[in-house]
Amino acid sequence: MTSPSNPARVRLEPHPADPRLGVLRLDRPPVNALDQSMWDDLAAVAAGLHDDGSPYRAVVLTGGPRHFAAGADVTELIDLSPADFDRRNRVLQGAFQALATAPQITVAAIDGYALGGGCELALAADFRIAGRSAVFGLPEITLGIIPGSGGTQRLRRAVGAARAKDLILTGRPVPADEALAIGLVDRVVDDAFGAAVEQGLGFARGPLALRYAKQAIDADLPIEAGLALEADLIATCFASADARAGLRSFVANGPRRATFQGR
């Protein structure tokens, strides 16, 4: 699947190693600044992940070896009226929320700069793997605005309120090693894309239960409501063909030998 309006800038395509693993690639040289056409494309691609017919079980997000995404294209924002900006910002916020809540497991491979909207895109992924050149930041405060596509909410959940305030209120850059130390990323490696693909391939072959486990974890409910959701979701899992295959395989062959079909 390619983006609807500009295939060269936002692409979602199957990985050659396994067509169940999608690669969502941003490609707008030189720094992958997100112009508004890309906001629309990201929204359309993210919505497609929620379709029952989507072929993907996992998705790797990447911007290439030098720049993940350097945030929104500020030159397009200068002349927007407050009302137009509000309308357009909600498109990008909605796109990232659709990515965050997609049934697929998502892994962001971050090399180079992930700033502003680029950092917010990375935060929308289930896992974040950084290259050693990666630099993160939410510098909106230096422009007289605040993060508006999930940054204030997802960064706090990732690193805690105090660290989120430090990064957002100063707008300072965060190198990869510090990002790892504070929990902004899960790993720092030499080859972020290769590591993300390896992880994504494991999820692509995984069971239907992955998406239900993600749904239960991400629900962020009070304990009573969370337990009720968990009970509903395990009942749904138990009724699946995957559960039948997994339970029978465990009895017959021991753990971790089942083959799942995702249904």
Query: Which residue out of 120, 178, 198, 230 is catalytically annotated?
Result: 120
| Non-local CB neighbours of 168 within 8 Å, separated by 6+ positions | 138, 140, 141, 146, 147, 151, 152, 155
Six-digit token string for 161: 């309120």
Q: Is 26 left (phi over 0), alpha (psi -120 to 50) or beta?
A: beta
Helix H or strand E segment including 19: strand 18-26
Query: Which residue out of 13, 140, 198, 230 is catalytically annotated?
Result: 140
Q: Torsion angle of alpha carbons 236, 218, 96, 86, nearest 10°?
A: 110
* Contact status, residue 31 vs residue 70, Cβ threshold 8 Å: yes
Helix H or strand E segment including 136: strand 135-137
* Contact status, residue 16 vs residue 63, Cβ threshold 8 Å: no
120 catalytic per annotation: yes
Q: Which residues are catalytic?
A: 120, 140
